[in-house]
Structure 1
């Protein structure tokens, strides 16, 4: 079998600086790209001016600073009430990390983290993105210009093994050889039920590149849990059919355009407030990782990552309101106002009504989606006590 150290990354890596001009040229020839840019800037910046600026860009960093961060600024201003962050003191500017992140939005989770890094003069991270999201050539160009690398989904047998080896090797190469940080979601696919848990299989995949000494290899990746929370999830109603099917033990089949629709809704939908937090590197908890190896080490990494996320995930009034409505009490009434509760119930009623199915069951699933972050924090706190 192909040696991990010798595997090539040509089919998954981001574009190099030497490829930026050609990549931008391909984007400028696509009408969908123009439409996206015009939508993002809402006519405040004419496309012709953007095009002129793009033609002068020669590096990935210039592309991110010159286009992506500006577009994000407009999106945040239009669709959120505020965007805050914390925990930046937990990471060093000249050090590469594996940012292990909660995943609620297909595009914005990683983009907003990179925005914080860029605005605070840190190097941005390379971004893991599933190949199911980049089927259009122009989207492939766009994300690879934005430091994204491709995760091959849906492989079977030997192809799946090779894809995992390649991915693990590329992540290790980025951090340990290129000194480039990496963003990756803590699980495959977005968290839909509000329970943010790291998949053990992901940690096992990361360890493949260090198969001779997986424990020290995982330590060398400098894993940092990252949590990002949205007061309102613009895609919450779109998630209900899948959650309903799962609750009824039915198979759920995505529509062909569902991922693209979720991407657009996540970007353009109202989010309320947004908060991102950089947790402490897991290596800071080295006392918890002594004298363990193999499966035990994987479970310890998962447990530590989840613990850091549960305790740093920003809880909004919507989370506390949903928890009280779900359980039927007023335990958290000091965490929200009557106006905030009325707004949440109005939004919930409208969004649940837009989905086919048992309204009571859909309401329960909707409430759990927002209440589970509170419940998970309470559960872990009780376990610690």
Structure 2
């Protein structure tokens, strides 16, 4: 694999990584702002702690020679533990037995949080003593040089979304070629969301075009569809949050979009969602790794259905999901699952929004249960 062909979209390597580390080290204020943005308050003690954290991060940065170093020492070593300490009750994983230590995979997960989904999957891989992965992120998030450096130092692969239609299509094929070559030739894993954009309605369904592009990128070489699919070792991953810190924000956005027929994102909307997702209370989080997809498939639709089936069956259903389902359906099918759950407190979460937003948010919690029940029938 000629990595120079993908230098503009791949994570930093070699001199590019060294230069990026130098830029970040010269921007202590940026590091302090990033740490402060994750803090729950700004009391003097917290400010002093932020400065200490910044100094510690800068010392660790001098030891970073690869994005693997950055992910392990800084992302998984500092940022994620800090986020979990303040906003997560329990973090758990399952399915690591499905993943071989020396094998590269294409991890394809549901998408709920802009940056945490991929970061938590990497964190789970480290905990399970498995190979960590690169991660595909949209260029709309790369708002300045500092943010770009932090993402690409962390193994970020750029998805170019702000292109004309024809160029965007060609770039998608090129990006898919990077995925396949990275896994098959470099034996390095990568993460991609099952669809573009977060699931705001709780319906985690794969866009078949993502699968199709993998094959299209290799078709000129005469490589058959199933050879590409089996070679990528696609592993469906279910990311389950007990609480979505952005549930009301997402619901307001979607209700507004449905009413108007379309919706234009406001400036800094993604940034606001990122910080809500990082700082907001998430309760329990579970990462479930499915089984690598292998076998004979007719087309990308069939592969997408298998990704969905595994995600829907492996999704950890929390009391929030089970109660929302029974509440909306008027049933008592899952009462044992939320026997000690404070249902009134949960409903009070949506007391200050109109009924359309409230029902949309509750349905977003209930839909993973509906998807699970449908998947059980297959």
Instruction: Give RMSD over aligned pairs.
Output: 2.0
Q: Could you list the structure 1 runs, at least 4 aligned residues long, displaced by more than 4 angstroms after superposition.
A: 4-7, 38-42
> Are the aligned partners of 1:33 and 1:138 in contact in 2 as well (CA < 8 Å)?
no
Partner of 1:264: 275
Secondary structure of 2:286's match? strand
User: How far off its partner does 1:251 sit?
Assistant: 1.1
Superimposed CA distance per residue, residues 156-180 of structure 1 (whole angstroms, 9 cap, x where no aligned partner) = 3431232012101111111011110
Q: Secondary structure at the match of 2:284?
A: strand
Q: Report the alpha carbon displacement of residue 332 of structure 1 after superposing the two structures with TM.
A: 1.6
Whether 2:233 is the aligned partner of 1:222: answer yes
Cα pair distance change 1:142/1:279, threshold 3 Å:
same
Shift of residue 281, structure 1, vs aligned partner: 0.7
Give the structure 2 partner of residue 340 of structure 1.
342
Q: Are the aligned partners of 2:313 and 2:376 in contact in 1 as well (CA < 8 Å)?
A: no
372-381 or 336-345, which moves further after superposition?
Answer: 336-345
Shift in Å, 1:38:
4.4
Q: Do the aligned residues in 2 keep the contact of 1:151 with 1:167 (CA within 8 Å)?
A: yes
TM-score, scaled relative to structure 1: 0.89
Counterpart of 2:42? none
Please, which moves more after superposition, 318-327 or 189-198? 318-327
Residue 66 of structure 1: how far off its partner (Å): 1.6
- 1:315 is matched with 317
Moved more, 329-338 or 259-268: 329-338
Deviation at 1:204, TM superposition (A): 1.2
2:175 alignment partner in structure 1: 167
Please give the alpha-carbon distance, in whole angstroms, between the structure 2 residues aligned to 1:90 and 1:46: 36
Q: Deviations over 1:317-363 (max 9, x none)?
A: 000111111122322211103542122112232xxx2x5xxx22122
CA contact (8 A) 1:17 1:60 kept: no
Aligned to 1:9: 6
Number of residue pairs matched by the alignment:
364
The question of 1:95 aligning with 2:103 is answered yes
Give runs of aligned pairs for residues 1-385 of structure 1, distance below 5 A: 8-30=5-27, 31-40=29-38, 43=49, 45-69=52-76, 70-211=78-219, 212=222, 213-248=224-259, 250-283=261-294, 286=295, 289=296, 292-293=297-298, 297-337=299-339, 339-349=341-351, 353=352, 355=353, 359-382=354-377, 384=378
Deviation of 1:123 after TM superposition, in Å, equals 1.9
- The 2-side partners of 1:8 and 1:75 are apart by 36
Q: C-alpha offsets along residues 16-66 of structure 1, whole Å, 9 cap, x if unaligned?
A: 144333212211333233211345475274322322232233332222222
Whole-angstrom distance in 2 between the partners of 1:99 and 1:162 = 23
Q: Distance in 2 between matches of 1:154 and 1:49?
A: 36
Structure 2: tracts of 5 or more residues without a match? 40-45
Mark the runs of 5 or more structure 1 residues left unpaired by the alignment: none
Higher mean Cα deviation, 242-251 or 258-267?
Answer: 242-251
Deviations 1:169-219 (A, max 9, x none): 111111011110010000000000000000011111122222132231122
